[in-house]
Amino acid sequence: MKTTIIAALIAAIAIGGALGAFAATRTVETTAEVDVRVWRRVSDGELYISARPAGSGPDTWITSEALNMSGLNQSGRFHLSSLVTVEVPVEVEVEVGETVPQGSTESLIPEEAPGFTPVAGPCCAVAGMETSPTVREQVVKAVQDVIDFALEEYGITHVGTITINIAYSNSGLLNRYEDAFGVELEELPDNCSFREGEHLFLTATCRDNKRAIATEWFERAVGREDVTPNWIGHGLFDYLLTHYLDGDPPVLTEDRFRRVLFYERARDVRRDRASDDLNTLAMLYAITDYGEFADWRRFYGAVLSGLHAEVAFESVFSATLTEFYADFEEWADHQKIILISTAFSSCREAAANIPRKLDPTATGRGFPDYRVPLEADHDGDRIVCEDTATTPTQ
């Protein structure tokens, strides 16, 4: 029990307040050595934690108040200490150039400190379609919209400049790539959008694609490197992207998450082979039952900065990943039982009990497939009984 608490406190000190602003640990690569000592008073058993810069004298120890050990974690298996902050003076000298290097894709997620006002990264140069100024203005506005949203809602912005590359055709976009990098491509990496360094490339079919533009920008701003397990990063991006596109962040009760509860296995998250929606569902469960979205940002930032997911999760949420997986799987199994018990056997039965909804193409009305699982989803839109369900006449 004591080892768990001490490990979490040491992790918090090692990565410092920058956990709350996870780009800070990536913008400047540095380390700080801190001596940490936990001690217990013989007379009454009270626990304390002391810290000092590594190698400093005996008079530099800074000690917390006595730790209150009456708290319990989510599972009830561990006692938790009261939260403490031990401020250790550390001097760091950093040389900063006058400008950010061109093409930098480092994320800039400012620390949410009192009085701190984040400044949006610059937007945007445009390459291509010089004879269509209206199109050029529209694509700049589309990128600027997501920049403004992220800054206003989350204090997130990008580092460096952005050049938007557009063309009348895909072959023209190949020319834009050659102009930018001096290398000729045989084919585009993606038929909608892709990004390389400071350059964003949008095909003719995706110049006004809000989702594609937002996806590319969020990956540029937050740093979409691979993290292990995969669901950690996917959940964050889905949360941000959904909030931007739909006007509200995702919630546990949405149809897409009920569907994965009905059809998929929650333990696939632990195995790192879950679907995208199941990955997001696990993240939403974490910020609903273990903390909040700000905690998830700190957790993701710690993992992105190189801290092992197990250590980062425990330092932020005061629970182990193993405990989280067990809680999530138990919750998901219970939710699945509820969904199975409330499913309907036919379109007619469903029509008598629940309202119909538009299918994703807005061409028909029906029911979510998990509500009427015995009906076939012929067009694969996850809606069944389109325009066939009628309320029985009395």
Dist. CA 36–CA 234, nearest whole Å = 35
Q: What is the pLDDT of residue 118?
A: 53
How crowded is residue 286: how many other Cβ atoms within 10 Å of its Cβ? 26
Residues 126 and 75 both lie in one domain: no
Residues 67 and 150 both lie in one domain: no
Residues 16 and 117 both lie in one domain: no
The tally of CA atoms less than 13 A away on the side-chain side of residue 382 is 11
The tally of CA atoms less than 13 A away on the side-chain side of residue 73 is 20
Cis amide leading into 355 (omega within 30): no
Least confident segment among 95-104, 274-283, 384-393: 95-104
175 or 10, which is more confident? 175
Residues 111 and 76 both lie in one domain: no
**Helices and strands counted in the chain (H then E):** 13, 14
Dist. CA 153–CA 63, nearest whole Å = 37
Residues 73 and 117 both lie in one domain: no
CA angle 288, 7, 281 (to 5 degrees): 20
Dist. CA 5–CA 388, nearest whole Å = 59
Q: Which residues pair with 367 in a beta bridge?
A: 384
Let me know if residue 306 belongs to a domain: no
DSSP string, 76-134: SSSEEPPP--------------SSPPTT---EE-----TT----PPP--EEES-TT-HH
- Highest average pLDDT, of 82-86, 167-171, 242-246, comes from 242-246
Dist. CA 185–CA 345, nearest whole Å = 54
Residues 9 and 56 both lie in one domain: yes
Residues with Cβ within 8 Å of 367's Cβ and at least 6 positions away in sequence, in order, are: 344, 347, 350, 354, 356, 357, 383, 384, 385, 389
Residues 112 and 73 both lie in one domain: no
- Is the pLDDT score of 20 beyond 60? no
Question: Using one digit for the tens of pLDDT, what is the confidence trace for 198-213?
Answer: 999 999 999 999 999 9
Split at pLDDT 50, 70, 90, the class of 17 is very low
Question: Using one digit for the tens of pLDDT, what is the confidence trace for 324-364?
Answer: 999 999 999 999 999 999 999 999 999 998 888 887 777 78
Let me know if residue 296 belongs to a domain: no
Let me know if residue 212 belongs to a domain: yes
Let me know if residue 311 belongs to a domain: no
Residues 204 and 113 both lie in one domain: yes
Domain containing 133 — which CATH number? 3.30.2010
Let me know if residue 390 belongs to a domain: yes
Q: What is the pLDDT of residue 40?
A: 76
Question: Domain range for residue 378?
Answer: 343-394
Residues 64 and 114 both lie in one domain: no
Select from 222, 247, 272 the last residue of a domain: 222
Residues 197 and 129 both lie in one domain: yes
Residues 134 and 213 both lie in one domain: yes
Give me the count of residues in the chain: 394
Yes or no: say if 266 and 328 are a contact pair by the CB < 8 Å rule: yes
DSSP string, 355-374: --EE-TTSS-EEEETTTSTT
Question: Using one digit for the tens of pLDDT, what is the confidence trace for 26-62?
Answer: 333 445 667 778 777 767 777 778 777 776 776 677 7
Residues 46 and 146 both lie in one domain: no
Strand order in the sheet with 62-63: 34-40, 47-53, 62-63
- Is the pLDDT score of 389 beyond 70? no
What value does the mean pLDDT of the chain take? 80
Select from 222, 246, 274 the last residue of a domain: 222
Select from 222, 244, 266 the last residue of a domain: 222
Let me know if residue 174 belongs to a domain: yes
Let me know if residue 199 belongs to a domain: yes
> Residue 287 corresponds to which tokens in the numbers above?
């910020």
User: Stretch 171-185: mean pLDDT, rounded?
Assistant: 93
Q: How far is CA 388 from CA 365, 376, 392, in A?
A: 9, 12, 12
Let me know if residue 19 belongs to a domain: yes
Q: How many domains does the chain have?
A: 3
Dist. CA 315–CA 216, nearest whole Å = 30
Dist. CA 52–CA 169, nearest whole Å = 61
